[in-house]
Amino acid sequence: MKILGIGNAIVDVICKVKDSFIVENNLTKSTMKLFFDENEFKQLLIDLKIEKTVSGGSVANSIVGLSQLGDKVGFIGKVSNDEFGEKYEEGLKNENVEYFYSKKKEELPTGTCLILITPDSERTMCTFLGTAGKINENDIDAKIVKNSEITFLEGYLWDEGDPKNAFNKAIINSNKVAMSLSDLFCVERHKENFLELVKNKLDIVFANEQEILSLINSSSFDDAISFSKNLNKNIVITRGEKGAFAIKENQVYEHPAERNLKITDLTGAGDLFAAGYLHGVINNMSINESLAKGTELSSKIIQKIGARI
């Protein structure tokens, strides 16, 4: 297997809303808010019209993108044996992704992410992790991890207790580890741990400009470049309209963003960028070619609703 993704198994529920909905519900546009109360989460959905429901989760989106490019991939993520869990597994199998998890009835339901798309195409996410957030080391099969060229993890998965133990088991058994920093708030919550991971345990890191600057406590992109150069890793940074950068072995590579796109929904832009870039890595493409593939996929996904091409 080329790449094994490990992440939160979340069913995406996509809805279009006005900006006023974001304000009235005390949400911060373009970020992800975790809900720990299932009833509070369900309350948000009451008056909304659902546009689409799809098996999601950040790394799962990337893994599906890789499968669509013809790469042999798999995924581990925890679901419950309920309606959404059935839909989740079915959704991955339909995309030729090998799903390495045997679901059973759990105390908590399968995780759900409400994706709110405002008229400016920005997406604000409200996530009830459900059983996805209870992933533990027993859910990670070391043999499967060892049989994959790259393990791809998401920052969203990181949490103290069982998820952290699952994360560490995956890293210890991996041949090569890639990780997405996932979200600005995620970085701010786990900054010390993420910094240690980036410096000492990861081979490839995906971040947007906000996330990398938060990680290093700086407001200067030049500082992010300097930080990345000193690591001797492959750090990949997306900057929206300013394009994408990759830093490897003291070399800085840059690729421009595509222009004149009809942007519909920014959901999955980073996930599909990572898919394109990793496709380049496992198929021995150059860094410039990998950046181009990432840009191509992210440009496609933002011109449609949802995180699947």
In the three-class reduction of DSSP (H, G, I as helix; E, B as strand; rest coil), residue 244 is classed as strand
**CA angle in degrees (0–180, nearest 5) for 195-3-9:** 75
Q: How far apart are CA 197 and CA 201, in angstroms?
A: 5
Q: Are 174 and 143 in contact (CB under 8 A)?
A: no
Residues forming a β-bridge with 127: 34, 113
Residue 306 has pLDDT above 80, yes or no: no
- Over residues 123-138, the pLDDT tens digits come to 899 999 999 989 999 9
* Helix 58-68 / helix 269-282 crossing angle, nearest 10 deg: 50
Tokens describing residue 98: 């090998």
- Over residues 249-282, the pLDDT tens digits come to 889 999 998 887 777 756 678 899 999 999 999 9
Q: Phi/psi of residue 186, each to 5°?
A: -65, -45
Q: How far apart are CA 217 and CA 9, in angstroms?
A: 30
pLDDT band, very low/low/confident/very high, at 53 (cuts 50, 70, 90): confident
> Which is higher by pLDDT, 300 or 230?
230
Q: Are 213 and 221 in contact (CB under 8 A)?
A: yes
Residue 58 has pLDDT above 80, yes or no: yes
Distance of CA 36 to the CA centre of its chain: 20
Q: Phi/psi of residue 28, each to 5°?
A: -105, 115
DSSP string, 48-96: PPEEEEEEE-HHHHHHHHHHHTT--EEEE---BSSHHHHHHHHHHHHTT
Residue 119 has pLDDT above 80, yes or no: yes
Over pLDDT 70: what percentage of the chain?
Answer: 98
The tokens 């996904």 sit on which residue? Answer: 301
Q: How far apart are CA 146 and CA 148, in angstroms?
A: 6
- Say what the pLDDT of residue 12 is: 86
Q: Are 273 and 261 in contact (CB under 8 A)?
A: no
Q: Classify 57 in phi/psi space as left (phi over 0), alpha (psi -120 to 50) or beta.
A: left
The tokens 């989106």 sit on which residue? Answer: 61
Q: How far apart are CA 308 and CA 124, in angstroms?
A: 17
Q: Are 15 and 114 in contact (CB under 8 A)?
A: yes
Tokens describing residue 78: 């925890």
Is beta strand 244-248 parallel, antiparallel or unpaired with respect to 234-238? antiparallel
pLDDT band, very low/low/confident/very high, at 161 (cuts 50, 70, 90): confident
pLDDT band, very low/low/confident/very high, at 218 (cuts 50, 70, 90): very high
The residue type found at 167 is: F
Pick the CATH number of 3-301 from 1.10.10.10, 3.90.209.20, 2.40.50.100, 3.40.1190.20: 3.40.1190.20
Q: Are 309 and 272 in contact (CB under 8 A)?
A: yes
